[in-house]
Structure 1
């Protein structure tokens, strides 16, 4: 996933101070209609109470009551614009409420909407203006039944109540949005981890393919070359070489089938899976190499090879397999010595050494990645591997692998 594709995972509150839904929708949903109607009815109820209080005052002219009613109705109807222009509506109603008490209900609803749908800065500015006008309204339109101080305190309390309610709703929406974005981000990160694990598994399969098939294909190449350059060889040798070619081809096909089964996914590898090699199967590998015509000496000094950890034993097997393959390519005819020592707590040490070849030979091409793969395999197993030429012109590979005690 690229950096550009990852940007959408950032919380909206960080990328944009406005929440989704702050801007008016082109079409109202059912929930929007319910909320808008409820807000209109609340503002209308407060306006009707204010009109009834004004009408109860005998000193108020009927024309003033009529004008207040019309202005109050217009203020309530203007609330249908609160989603599209919450700031402008709140500013306009703040100015109207100074001279028209019946617009107070609409102003409270507008301040609530402003706090819900706009960031803190414009909300704070408009709210400060509304609080400043609260002491002015009782002076312009005093209420004979309520004192000035009580009117101011009651007005400030209503404004603060509407603002705090709106800010609480917005904070809750931001929290829900943050949790949703966090869940999406966690899901995306889980997908990235799964892709990385899959990629690492495929790389491990590729290394396994190299280690396994290189051994088989080298046998095919060596014996096919022998048949090509020695067509007059005894019948027994030709038959033995042909048998090795046949067996190696069969084993290579088996290995390819297993690898393809792993690539297909869990549970789809088929019923023909063979057990993975361990330290106990090292003798079989040595015997297979001897049957192919190699001179191999195995010095097995591990008292209980069956008790070795499966991963460590498999690593030892693969190291020996790759070293025998390399010796067959680069030192044909030379005697190879495989030494395995160690035990629980001391770890396992495998050494594969061969002297320089005595006779000239035709080199078999290689990928050059075998020793690199062995080093990586040993490192992943928690050990180390070193390799290099010996003073007599031979080659030595030594690997140390962990074997925990107990």
Structure 2
């Protein structure tokens, strides 16, 4: 047994019983055949004793292959009844120990059988031929055992690699899932907090506004902050979890939710016009991508161009492409970037994930435009 692996006691007992039975049967057959050839009470007693001792050595052979095989080889030097046990010992060592060790044990067993040929010669078999058979047999046993060992090691290595690859695939899936969740939460939280900021800004700069308008803005701030906290709690739980996302989370938005998204911005005081001229039902994945693009566009508009009207245009049909455009004018002293740009980078990745493309920048008439074209299969 390998020193690095805990022994399997059940397997050891099964191997010991099986090997012991084989040694007993073969030793008995050898005893009977040799008794027929040379009737000798002393030889018969020695062979019977050797058979019993070889059976007793089987547990040692299973737990300590080299020691057990050498003991059986020494026993075989005095009795042919121990030959089956000695050959099994050589094969056992060759299957569980390095080739150099197997060759050494095989050489000892070969020498022991050479001694046996002198002490207990086989009638009709020249000693020279006995040595040839002895060497060839032990060489075959060592080669066979080494081949079994190599194949076993190859299977173990193949299984180990398969397990490592499976673990890596699971880890990669987890990383991908968490990256997707993080990107979703960036869009959702950014949109939600920008609504809160816009409504809070209205309360700050218009303290003389009508009570109804102030109450509506305060309600948007309260609801937005509450939803942002819930969404933040959700993403933290996801990113901490070791398990993959089961897909049983809250329903994901689609293009059908665009009017509600626009209405949220309107309630926060942003003038948003929506022009949706799509023909047919937009596929779920495509619609979700369009929703996130519009959401990020509205978030950026509130952040960089507060108070400026925004126009959202969605058009397209199956077999062509879904075109999403968000455009708004910028204040004279406004910058189109806050130095990070992670949202637009994420949008570019979203568009690319469905085979589309995303462009953004200032137009010649001074508007900032965010344009995406997403393939719409027929």
TM-score, length-normalised on structure 1? Answer: 0.69
Distance across 1 between alignment mates of 2:160 and 2:64: 32
Q: What per-residue deviation string (whole Å, max 9, x for no partner) do you get for residues 50-103 of structure 1?
A: 66246526xxxx7x7489559846963783543465446645655765665454
Structure-1 separation of matches of 2:350 and 2:80: 82
- Structure 1 distance, partners of 2:231, 2:33, is 85
Aligned residue in 1 for 2:241:
none
Name which of structure 1's ranges 76-85 and 373-382 shifts more when overlaid on structure 2. 76-85
Question: Which structure 1 segments of 5+ residues have no match?
Answer: 1-17
Deviations 1:14-46 (A, max 9, x none): xxxx75799999999543552464355246525
In structure 2, C-alpha distance between the alignment counterparts of 1:133 and 1:166, rounded to whole Å = 20
Which of 278, 284, 289 matches 1:302? Answer: 278
Residue 123 (structure 1) aligns with:
102
Note the C-alpha offset of 1:167: 3.0
Give the alignment partner of residue 326 of structure 1, picking from 300, 303, 317.
300
- 3-state SS of the aligned residue for 2:330? coil
Cα 1:191/1:94, change in 2 over 3 Å? closer
Aligned to 2:87: 108
In structure 1, the residue matched to 2:311 is 337
SS at match of 2:279: coil
Contact 2:313–2:324 (Cα < 8 Å) also in 1: yes
Alignment of 1:2-401 (within 5 A): 30-31=13-14, 33-35=16-18, 37-38=20-21, 41-42=24-25, 44-46=27-29, 48-49=31-32, 52-53=35-36, 55-56=38-39, 65=43, 68=46, 72=50, 76=54, 79-80=57-58, 81-83=60-62, 86-87=65-66, 90=69, 94=73, 97=76, 100-124=79-103, 126-127=105-106, 138=117, 141-144=120-123, 146-148=124-126, 152=130, 159=137, 163=141, 167=145, 171=148, 175=152, 186=162, 189-233=165-209, 235=210, 238-247=211-220, 249-250=222-223, 253-254=226-227, 257=230, 266=246, 269=249, 273=250, 276-304=252-280, 307-357=281-331, 368-401=341-374
Q: Distance in 1 between matches of 2:298 and 2:343?
A: 11
User: Partners of 2:316 and 2:340 in 1: how far apart?
Assistant: 32
Change in CA separation of 1:24 and 1:253 when aligned onto 2, cut-off 3 Å: closer
Please give the alpha-carbon distance, in whole angstroms, between the structure 2 residues aligned to 1:363 and 1:240. 30
Distance 1:74 1:356 in 2: 100
Asked whether the equivalents of residues 24 and 52 of structure 2 are also in contact (C-alpha less than 8 Å), the reply is no
| CA distance in 2: counterparts of 1:284 and 1:163, whole angstroms | 80
- Going from structure 1 to structure 2, the CA distance change for 1:228 and 1:100 (only over 3 Å counts) comes to closer
* Structure 1 residues 281 and 74: alpha-carbon distance in aligned structure 2, compared to 1, 3 A threshold: closer
Distance 1:139 1:213, change over 3 A: closer
Total equivalences in the alignment: 370
Query: What do residues 307-335 of structure 1 show as CA deviations (whole Å, max 9, x unaligned)?
Result: 21111112112211221221122112323
Q: Distance in 2 between matches of 1:345 and 1:110?
A: 74
How many angstroms apart in 1 are the aligned matches of 2:56 and 2:4? 19
- With 239-248 and 185-194 compared, the bigger mean Cα shift is at 185-194
User: Aligned-residue CA RMSD in angstroms?
Assistant: 4.8
Task: Indicate conservation of the 8 Å contact 2:110/2:135, yes or no.
Answer: no
Gaps of 5+ in 2: 239-244
Q: Deviations over 1:332-352 (max 9, x none)?
A: 232323222332232122222
SS, match of residue 253 in structure 2: coil
- Find the residue that maps to 1:56 and give its secondary structure: coil
Q: 1:35/1:329 Cα in 2 relative to 1: closer, same or farther (>3 Å)?
A: same
Change beyond 3 A, Cα 1:84–1:247: closer
